[in-house]
Amino acid sequence: MMEFSASQIAELCGGTIEGDSNVTVNTIAKIEEGRQGAISFLANPKYTPYIYTTGSSIVLVGRDFVPEREIKATLIRVDDPYATVARLLEMVDKMTRGVKRGIEQPVYIAEGVEIPEDAYVGAFAYIGRGAVIGRGAQIYPRAYIGDNATVGERTVLYPGVTVYHDCHIGRDCIIHAGAVIGADGFGFAPVGDSYDKIPQIGNVVIADNVEIGANTTIDRATMGSTRIEQGVKLDNLIQVAHNCTVGANTVMAAQVGLAGSSRVGNNCMIGGQVGVAGHITIGDHTSIGAQSGIPKSVPAGSRLMGYPAVNAGDFARRAVYLKNLGHLFERVARLEKNINQD
Amino acid sequence: MMEFSASQIAELCGGTIEGDSNVTVNTIAKIEEGRQGAISFLANPKYTPYIYTTGSSIVLVGRDFVPEREIKATLIRVDDPYATVARLLEMVDKMTRGVKRGIEQPVYIAEGVEIPEDAYVGAFAYIGRGAVIGRGAQIYPRAYIGDNATVGERTVLYPGVTVYHDCHIGRDCIIHAGAVIGADGFGFAPVGDSYDKIPQIGNVVIADNVEIGANTTIDRATMGSTRIEQGVKLDNLIQVAHNCTVGANTVMAAQVGLAGSSRVGNNCMIGGQVGVAGHITIGDHTSIGAQSGIPKSVPAGSRLMGYPAVNAGDFARRAVYLKNLGHLFERVARLEKNINQD
Amino acid sequence: MMEFSASQIAELCGGTIEGDSNVTVNTIAKIEEGRQGAISFLANPKYTPYIYTTGSSIVLVGRDFVPEREIKATLIRVDDPYATVARLLEMVDKMTRGVKRGIEQPVYIAEGVEIPEDAYVGAFAYIGRGAVIGRGAQIYPRAYIGDNATVGERTVLYPGVTVYHDCHIGRDCIIHAGAVIGADGFGFAPVGDSYDKIPQIGNVVIADNVEIGANTTIDRATMGSTRIEQGVKLDNLIQVAHNCTVGANTVMAAQVGLAGSSRVGNNCMIGGQVGVAGHITIGDHTSIGAQSGIPKSVPAGSRLMGYPAVNAGDFARRAVYLKNLGHLFERVARLEKNINQD
C-alpha cells in the first residue's frame, strides 16, 4: 500500500495541518483502533475521547474542533471529516485495486469482437461471438461472456463471473467473483414419472449501477427477460429465478431466494436468507426481516417478519405469546381444576 | 436472433396460414405480452380474448379455432399449439445457443485423453489424466475435469463447472456454471480442542438425464459414492453433502441443503431453502414445502411443511391457532376473571 | 486406483495375516457393504456379525479378536483397526489425488512473483503482482490470486478459487472449488432514493489449518480485516460478511450466513442454514441447531435452537406446547361452555 504524508493529504483535501507535516500513513483505521501509520477521522462527537489516546498518526477533524488537552496525532482540519474520509477511501481503493487497462495474454476473444482501448481483459477471459464490451469495462481474469452478450461502459466483472449468451449488463455495474448470470431457468414439464426440459430461450437484463455479490445466481427467463432494475444491490449467494423482476434501488442481503416469476418492487430492503414464493408481487418500499418466508403478494410499504411472514408488529406480539405459552397451559389447567372443584 | 417468415414456420410444423405469409418473427412472446416481430400461441381458452388485441405478428392456434371478430395477427393453424411452440422453443434454443463442436485454444488436455470428434472443449477447459469424455459432450470454457473423472455422451458442462477427480457424470446431463461436483465431504474427527480431517476417498456418481443448477455443490463420499439418480433436477445453490442419495426423478428448488448420509427417495418434490437432517430417509413421492426443516425420517407419500416440519394439514391448522393465539390469551383471562368473581 | 496385496498392507501397518496373503484390494468399504477387492475394518463390536458374511477381501481386526465361526475374508490383525484404516485412508487419498508439483502451462504469473520449487500451479491459474506463494502450496487450475495476496505453506487452493487482492491465507489450509475470499463487503450509504457504494478497503485474513467449502464466500472488511481464526472448518455455500470474526476451531455446516461485524467465538458448532444477525457476539463453545436464527448476542456455552433461537430446552418444551395447541383451544372452549352453563 502506498504512503502519504500529512502535507500531501492536506493538499489533496484542502485541509490545514496541526503537528508534524512529515508523518506518513499507509492505511485507514477507526479512531478507537488507531495505530502508527494509520489515518483516522473524528466526525461523531461520541468518539471525541479517543482522539487523546489514539495510536493513529493522523486524525482528520472539523475546522471548529477545540482540543481539551494534548493530542499526539497530527491533526488535519477539514470542512467535513466524514466526506473527506470517504473520498480518501475511494482513492485508497483505486490505488490498491487499481483501474485495470489493456489485454493480458492468453485470452479468448471471438473474431469480430472489438475491445475498447481503455477496457481491461484479464488473462483466461472468454468473450464469445457477437459480444459487445463497453468503454472502460474491466473484465477480470477468467470471466466468461457468452455469445451476443453485452457489458456496459465502466462495468466491472470480477474473476470467474459467467454471463450466458444473449444477456445484457448495463453501465457502472459491479459483478463479484463467481456470480452466474443467465443460467437456464428451472423449468420442466412432467411426462409420466420423469420430466422434459422446457427450453429457456429468454435472457437476463441488468440495468445500470447494479452491484451483484459473489456466487449469486440470476437465471434467464423462459421467454422474455429476468430483470434487475437500476441501482439494485444484491449480496452474495442470492438466487433470482427465471422471469423475476427486482425493482430499482432494492437491496437484498445474502442468501435470499426469489422463486420464479416473482416481482419485487422498488426501494425494498430484504434481509438475509429470506424466501419469496413464485408468481407473487412485493410492493415498493417493503422491508422484510431476515429468514422470513413470503408466501403471497404484499402491498407497498409492508414491514414483514417470520415464516410464514406476518406484519412486524404481529410478529413481535406473537413472540411474546409464544414465550408465555407454557404459562397459559398452566393457567388453563388451574381453571379446569377450579371448575371441577365447583 | 434469426428471423422466420410465417410460411417457413408453417412448413416446419405442418400448419396452414391465415393472413400475411410474408410477415417475419424473431422472438416468442406470451399472447398477452405480444409485440411486433413475436410469435405467440393460444392453447388455453382462458387466453382467447387476447388474440384480438395481441401485438404479436403471428399466433399459433388449433385447427378448430373459430375467431369471433377480426384478428390483426397472422394465424397458423396446427394440431397442438402448445406442443408446436415447445418444438419451436427447442429450435430457437439450438439456434441461439448452438450445439458446439471442436476444440478451442488454449485448452489443457492431459496426455492420453481422447476427445471424440463431435465433442466440444472450450478455451481454458482443463481435462486431467485418465479422464473420459463421451461422444457429443460439450465442455464449455474453463470447465475442470479432474483425473480419472468421466463425462457421459451428450452431457453439457457450462463454464466454470468443477468435477473433482474420480467422479462420474452420466449421459445427457446438463450442469450449469459454477457447480462443484466432488469436493471433499465435511468430515472431521475431534482431537482435543481442534479437529483432524477425515480423508474423503469416495466419489460422486451422477446418473443419466440429470440437470444441476448454477453454483450447486455435491460433495464426494467419505467412502463409496454420493449418488444422484436418473432424471433428478436440482436448481441453483443447493448443497448435497457426502454420502447422500437423491432418488430418480426427484426435483429440488434452489438453496435446499441435504446433510450427510441423508437419502431422498424417488419422485420427491422439495421446495426452496428446505433443510434435511443427516442420516435420515425421505420416502418416495414426498413433497416438502419451501423453507421447511426435516429432522427425522418420513414415509413415502408424505406432504410436509414447517420447521420442524409437520404434515401439511397440521401446519395449516397450526397457522390458524397461532393467528388466534392472542384471542386465546384474552379468553383465558376472561375465564379467570369470571371464576374469581364467583 | 492402485492395488495392494494383503502382505503389502500387513507390512505397511505392522499386522499379521490370517488367510490368503496374495489377495488384493483396490478400495475401502464398510464391513456391511463389503465386496470383492475391498478392505474393511472391525472396530465397533456392534458390527462383529458382519465379519462372517462380508464380501470384502480383507478385514482389519484387533489383535485379540476371536472368531466364532469360519470367515471367508483374509484377516489382518493390528493394534488399532480404526487408526490403521485412518492411516490407509490418507495413503489412498494421496495416491488418487496426488500431491501435485510443478507449473503447468499456460499460467499467468505476474513479473517478480516467485513460485517455490515444490509448489504446484495448475494451468490457467492467475497470480497477480506482489503475491506470495508458500512452499509446497498447491494452486489448482484456474485459481485466482489477486495482487499482493498471500498463500501459506502447504495450503491447497482447488480449481476456481478466487482470492481478491491483499487477502492472506495461512498455512495448511484447504480451500475448495469456487470459494471466493475477499469480495467487497455489502456496504452502501443511502443518498436520496438510491445508494452510494462505500469502498471496502480492508481485507480477509485466514489463519492456519482452516478448511473452507466449495462456493463459500468470505467478504473483505470495510476497513481492517475479516478474520477466520486457526482450525476453523467451514462447509459449502456459507456467507461470512465483512468485518466478521470466526474464532478458533469453530465448525459451521453448509449454507450458514453471518451478517456484517458479527463475532463467533472459539469452538462453536453451528448447524446448517443458520443465520446470525450483524454486530452481535456468539460466546465460545456455543452450539446452534440447524436453521436457527440468532438475533442477539449469546453467552459462552449456549445451546440454541429455533427462529428466533431460544435455549434448546425451551425449544423442545415449546414444540410440545405447539403440538398440543389445538387441544388447548378445545379445553378453553369447554371451560367457556361450563362457565356459561353455570
pLDDT tens string A265-295: 999 999 999 999 999 999 999 999 999 999 9
Report the 3 state secondary structure along A241-309: CCCCEECCCCEECCCCEECCCCEECCCCEECCCCEECCCCEECCCCEECCCCEECCCECCCCEEEECCE
In this structure, the strands spanning C269-270 and C251-252 are: parallel
DSSP 8-state class, residue C152: -
Query: Quick check: A137 and A116 in contact, CB under 8 A?
Result: yes
- Cell numbers for B256: 435446499
Average pLDDT, chain B: 94
Backbone angles phi, psi at B76, to 5 degrees: -120, 120
A99 touches chain C (CB under 8 A): no
Sheet holding A27-28, edge to edge: A16-18, A74-78, A58-62, A38-41, A27-28
Chain A positions in Cβ-Cβ contact with residue C309 (cut-off 8 Å): none
Yes or no, beta carbons of B106 and C106 under 8 Å apart: yes
Chain A positions in Cβ-Cβ contact with residue C148 (cut-off 8 Å): 96
Percent of chain B clearing pLDDT 90 (strictly above): 82
Of the candidates B162, B219, B241, the beta carbon closest to that of C178 is on: B162
Closest CA in chain A for residue B234: A186
Query: Quick check: C276 and C255 in contact, CB under 8 A?
Result: no
CA B148 from centroid of its chain's CA atoms: 27
Reported as a single tens digit per residue, the pLDDT across A186-231 is: 999 888 999 999 999 999 999 999 999 999 999 999 888 999 999 9
Helical residues (DSSP H) of A40-114, grouped into ranges: 81-97
Yes or no, beta carbons of B165 and C96 under 8 Å apart: yes
Q: Which residues are within 8 A (CB) of A333 and not within 5 positions of it... i.e. 6 or more apart?
A: none
Among A172-176, B338-342, C118-122, C218-222, the range scoring the smallest mean pLDDT is: B338-342
- Give me the amino acid identity at A140: Y
Say what the pLDDT of residue A258 is: 98
What average pLDDT does the segment B213-229 reach?
Answer: 95
Reported as a single tens digit per residue, the pLDDT across A119-170 is: 999 999 999 999 999 999 999 999 999 999 999 999 999 999 999 999 999 9
Statement: residue C24 has pLDDT above 80: yes
Q: With CA atoms as reference, report the closest residue to B210 among A194, C111, C227.
A: A194
- Cell numbers for B134: 463421451
The helix or strand, by DSSP H or E, that contains position C134, with its residue range, turns out to be none
What average pLDDT does the segment B277-289 reach?
Answer: 97
Say what the pLDDT of residue C1 is: 46
Among A45-54, A113-122, A330-339, C280-289, the range scoring the smallest mean pLDDT is: A330-339
Residues A234, B180: Cα–Cα separation, whole Å: 22
Say what the pLDDT of residue C280 is: 97
Distance (Å) from the C-alpha of residue A29 to the closest C-alpha of chain C? 7
Q: How many C-beta neighbours within 10 Å does residue A284 have?
A: 17
What average pLDDT does the segment C185-203 reach?
Answer: 92
Say what the pLDDT of residue B94 is: 83
What average pLDDT does the segment C81-94 reach?
Answer: 84
Say what the pLDDT of residue C74 is: 97
What average pLDDT does the segment C55-81 reach?
Answer: 95
Long-range Cβ contact pairs of A238-243 (< 8 A, separation 24 or more): A238/A213, A239/B235, A239/B236, A239/B237, A239/B254, A239/B255, A239/B272, A240/A216, A241/A185, A241/A186, A241/A278, A241/B235, A241/B254, A242/A184, A242/A185, A242/A186, A242/A187, A242/A200, A242/A202, A243/A185, A243/A202
Closest CA in chain B for residue C268: B193
Among A20-24, B172-176, C52-56, C190-194, the range scoring the smallest mean pLDDT is: C190-194
Cis peptide before C141 (omega within 30 of 0): no
The dihedral of CA A19, A25, A28, A31: what is its sign?
negative
Chain B positions in Cβ-Cβ contact with residue C214 (cut-off 8 Å): 162, 180, 183, 217, 219
Query: Quick check: C222 and C242 in contact, CB under 8 A?
Result: yes
The DSSP bridge partners found for residue A17 are A76
Residues B261, C85: Cα–Cα separation, whole Å: 20
Residues A292, A289: Cα–Cα separation, whole Å: 6
Helical residues (DSSP H) of chain A, grouped into ranges: 6-13, 81-97, 312-323, 325-341
What average pLDDT does the segment B109-130 reach?
Answer: 97
Residues C111, C113: Cα–Cα separation, whole Å: 6
Question: Which of residues 47 through 66 in chain B touch A, CB cutoff 8 A?
Answer: none
What average pLDDT does the segment C40-57 reach?
Answer: 94
Percent of chain A clearing pLDDT 70 (strictly above): 99
Say what the pLDDT of residue A29 is: 84
**Residue pairs between chains A and C whose CB atoms are closer than 8 Å:** 170
- Give me the amino acid identity at A90: E
ipTM: 0.90
What average pLDDT does the segment C326-333 reach?
Answer: 93
Q: Residue A342: which pLDDT band, with cuts at 50, 70 and 90?
A: low
C-alpha atoms less than 13 angstroms from C-alpha of C120 in its C-beta half-sphere: 18
Residues C39, C26: Cα–Cα separation, whole Å: 8
Reported as a single tens digit per residue, the pLDDT across C147-166 is: 999 999 999 999 999 999 99
- Conformational region of residue A86, where left means phi above 0, alpha means psi within -120 to 50, and beta covers everything else: alpha
Task: List all chains that touch chain A, counting a touch as 3 or more CB pairs closer than 8 Å.
Answer: B, C
Yes or no, beta carbons of A30 and C224 under 8 Å apart: yes
DSSP 8-state class, residue A62: E
Residues A326, A129: Cα–Cα separation, whole Å: 66
Say what the pLDDT of residue A90 is: 85
Residues C168, C228: Cα–Cα separation, whole Å: 10
Chain C positions in Cβ-Cβ contact with residue B308 (cut-off 8 Å): 319
Chain C positions in Cβ-Cβ contact with residue A254 (cut-off 8 Å): 186, 217, 239, 241, 257, 259
What average pLDDT does the segment A84-97 reach?
Answer: 83
Yes or no, beta carbons of A178 and C324 under 8 Å apart: no
What average pLDDT does the segment B189-195 reach?
Answer: 91
Highest mean pLDDT among B24-33, B39-48, C85-94: B39-48
Say what the pLDDT of residue A226 is: 97
Residues C129, A239: Cα–Cα separation, whole Å: 34
Of the candidates C124, C236, C322, the beta carbon closest to that of B239 is on: C236
Say what the pLDDT of residue B2 is: 60
Q: What is the pTM for the complete model shown?
A: 0.92
Sheet holding C174-175, edge to edge: C102-103, C120-121, C138-139, C156-157, C174-175, C211-212, C233-234, C251-252, C269-270, C287-288, C303-306, C309-311
Q: Residue A92: which pLDDT band, with cuts at 50, 70 and 90?
A: confident
The CA-atom distances, in angstroms, between A270 and each of A178, A286, A304, B27, C256 are: 22, 8, 10, 34, 17
DSSP 8-state class, residue B87: H
Statement: residue A299 has pLDDT above 60: yes
Q: Which residue has the higher pLDDT, B38 or B183?
A: B183
Reported as a single tens digit per residue, the pLDDT across B231-258 is: 999 999 999 999 999 999 999 999 999 9
The CA-atom distances, in angstroms, between A133 and each of A152, A234, A294 are: 6, 23, 38
Q: Apex CA A200: angle with CA A198 and CA A203, to 5°?
A: 165
Q: Which residue has the higher pLDDT, C276 or A224?
A: C276
Say what the pLDDT of residue A1 is: 45
Q: Which residues are within 8 A (CB) of C237 and not within 5 positions of it... i.e. 6 or more apart?
A: A215, A237, B215, B217, B237, B239, B257, C213, C214, C215, C216, C254, C255
Q: With CA atoms as reference, report the closest residue to B187 among C106, C211, A16.
A: C211
Question: Which of residues 230 through 289 in chain A touch B, CB cutoff 8 A?
Answer: 237, 239, 241, 255, 257, 259, 273, 275, 277
Q: Is A176 a catalytic residue?
A: no
